[in-house]
Amino acid sequence: MKNAERMFACIFAPAMPLQAMVRTEPDLRELPLAAADGDRGGSRITHISASAGRLGVKVGMTASQARSIAADVVVRQPAAGVVAAAVRALTDIACAFSATVQVESDGRILFEAAGHEAIHGSFLEMGQRIINAAGNDGFIVRVGFGCGIRLAGIASRCGAATTVLETGAVAGVIAGMPVSILEPSPAMLEALTRLRVITVGDLAALPARGIGSRLGNEGTRLHALASGIDESVITKPVVPDDRFIECVKLDWTLDNLEPLIFLIKGAADRISARMQMRGLVPGKAGLTLDLENSGIHFLETAAGGISSSSSTISSVLHRVLSRNPPSSPICGFTLSITASRPRAVQCQLFGPPVIEPSRVRDLTGRLAAIVGEGNVGSPDPDARPARPEYAPVPFDPCPSDARHTRPVRRPGSPAMAFRRFNPPYKATVATGNDLPAEISSNLVSGRICRVAGPWYLDASWWGDGPVAGALYDIEIPGRGVFRLWHDLLDDGWLIDGVWD
């Protein structure tokens, strides 16, 4: 493949651990912040914010040294989960722009950018879109484009928001930059410095012949890069995951649901934005709370019952948490939402308006949080008059449902409806001529004036346990028409319901 046909992009988030922490705790943005490689006083500072740098804090200091220089500096050890979630968020952004994405170990995201101009415009426009998308998710990123993944990585570190290293013009753009931008090994950097090769232009000016014998393979590779030649391509593409995770770790504990819900809403906001970018909608949510006493508290909501609105997700989780609160204070949480595909609405020209599927999902999710999982849906159209409980099937109205094919009802005569008692009432029944004659129960007592039945039911072949009994319709004067169940296995009587 010729270089002109190839173009790769690199998304680079400077000081990624700091950005990951600020993303989950936006209040930190205003403070002098430093990331350390541990949580003790002797741990080393690895990244600092600009305001911490102005106070004299430097990378490599110990946390104690940093605090002695600047008492206000906030030194934190970034949680691995928080940084991983931030990298995944950037990966999602890249996945919205390309199908071939690779994640580097240092958190840089590489993707194939050639051929996408028709969708996203020029590379400069694409870069700006990526920066905007990342900015919406709380990141400050730089984007670089190059004919190979190494050149794309170099372009992303050039300093400008978007840098495009066009084939043939690479050397001119990066010639004045220090040679360290090519990421040589420490030994190679020392050798180049000793040879007074300070800038990329100095290296490119060296004759290609003899570089290999003097500086080895690494020297040859760096010289090619300095000359704008890069054959490296994506070798380990990631498979986009449909599970979106946001992690928040706290330096303090929360013993109240309200501030926790505030933080959960922030995480749900970020996940919702990531899903929208990839054209997905939330499906099933799981919330793992890290408890102060080293335990965890896990909660889950129904599949397909969540709205794409982050406020709905947080209110549903609020209700779930209220019903099942954690046993001790919380020092962090992980919100995981599995994505599902959005359903499009196909309206009909001559039919009634159709409910938008996302609104149905929103409503059923809210109702499930109130009345419990498995209690929201539609009556099963295959329900048959038997004794087992009827469970709802998912409520999923669609245009074709408007034309249903039930038998035609005789006009002007509604069908008499049965109302089931839940649970049925136990009754004591006196019989005469093998038929119920008098009944006594908490619900109704008295003489039975009319009886229809028995209709025998033997359902042992379809249930877990044997069911055998007889049904009767009985009328008690002034009290109503009831259905009685006579269990032939234990000779018990139940009032199943009433014709109402």
Partner 1 sequence: MPGNSAIARLLERMPAGLVRRASEQVRSNPVTPTGISALDAALGGGWACGRLNMLVPGPSASTGRTTVAMAAVCAVTSSGLPAAWIDGDGSMDPPSLLACGANTKLLLWVRGPMSADALLKSTHEVIISGMFGLIVVRPPLDGWYGGGAMHWLRLSREAELSGAPVIVLARGSATSAGNSSATFFAALDADWSGPIGAGCLLMGGTLRLETDHSDGHQAECTFRSNAPWLVFQ
349 lines the binding site for partner 1 (CB under 8 A): no
Looking at beta carbons only, is 140 or 370 nearer to partner 1?
370
Among 85, 360, 427, 429, binds partner 1 (CB under 8 A): 360
Of 435, 457, 471, 488, which lies in the binding site for partner 1, with binding defined by CB under 8 A? 435
Report, in Å, the least distance between residue 255 CB and partner 1: 25
The answer to whether the CB of 376 falls within 8 A of the CB of 392 is yes
How many residues contact partner 1, by CB under 8 A? 70
Q: Which two tokens stand for residue 201?
A: 């232009």
Smallest distance, partner 1 to C-beta of residue 474, A: 10
Q: Which is nearer to partner 1, 193 or 375 (CB)?
A: 375
**3-state SS class at 195:** coil
CA dist 374 and 307 (Å) reads 17
Nearest distance from residue 427's CB to partner 1, in Å?
14
Count other C-beta atoms under 10 Å from residue 147's C-beta. Answer: 27
Return the beta strands (E) in 130-192 as ranges: 142-146, 162-164
CB of 61 to partner 1, least distance (A): 55
Residue 355 binds partner 1, judged by CB under 8 A: yes
CA 14 remoteness from chain centre:
25
Binding mask 470-489 for partner 1 (x = CB under 8 A): ---x-x--xxxxx-------
Question: What is the x/- site pattern for partner 1, positions 363-392, by CB under 8 A?
Answer: xx-xx--xx---xxxxxxx-xxx----xxx
Comparison of 191 and 470: residue with beta carbon closer to partner 1: 470
Q: Does 118 bind partner 1 (CB under 8 A)?
A: no
Residues ≥6 apart with Cβ < 8 Å to 326: 289, 291, 297
Q: Minimum distance between the CB of residue 257 and partner 1, rounded to whole angstroms?
A: 17
User: Which burial class, exposed, middle or buried, applies to 41 when counting CB atoms under 10 A from its CB (0-12, 13-18, 19+)?
Assistant: middle
Which of 433, 464, 465, 490: binder of partner 1 (CB under 8 A)? 433
Asked if 285 and 313 count as a contact pair (C-beta separation under 8 A), the reply is: yes
Q: Is 444 in the site for partner 1 (CB under 8 A)?
A: yes
Note whether 498 binds partner 1 by CB under 8 A: yes
| Cβ neighbour number for residue 162 with a 10 Å cutoff | 22
Interface of this chain with partner 1, residues 409 to 428, rule: CB under 8 A:
409-422
As a whole number of angstroms, the distance between CA 90 and CA 382 comes to: 47
Separation in Å, CA 382 to CA 23, 343, 396, 461: 50, 25, 16, 18
Q: CA–CA separation, 79 vs 248, rounded Å?
A: 8
* Among the residue ranges 2-10, 294-302, 337-345, 407-415, the one whose residues contact partner 1 (CB under 8 A): 407-415
- Residues 6 or more apart from 214 whose CB is under 8 A from it? none
Query: What φ, ψ does residue 489 adopt, rounded to 5°?
Result: -80, -40
Q: Near partner 1 by CB under 8 A, which window of 16-24, 32-40, 51-59, 444-452?
A: 444-452
Cβ 473 vs Cβ 495: under 8 Å: no
Binding site for partner 1 (CB under 8 A): 351-352, 355, 359-360, 362-364, 366-367, 370-371, 375-381, 383-385, 390-392, 395-398, 401-404, 406-422, 433, 435, 443-444, 450-454, 473, 475, 478-482, 497-500
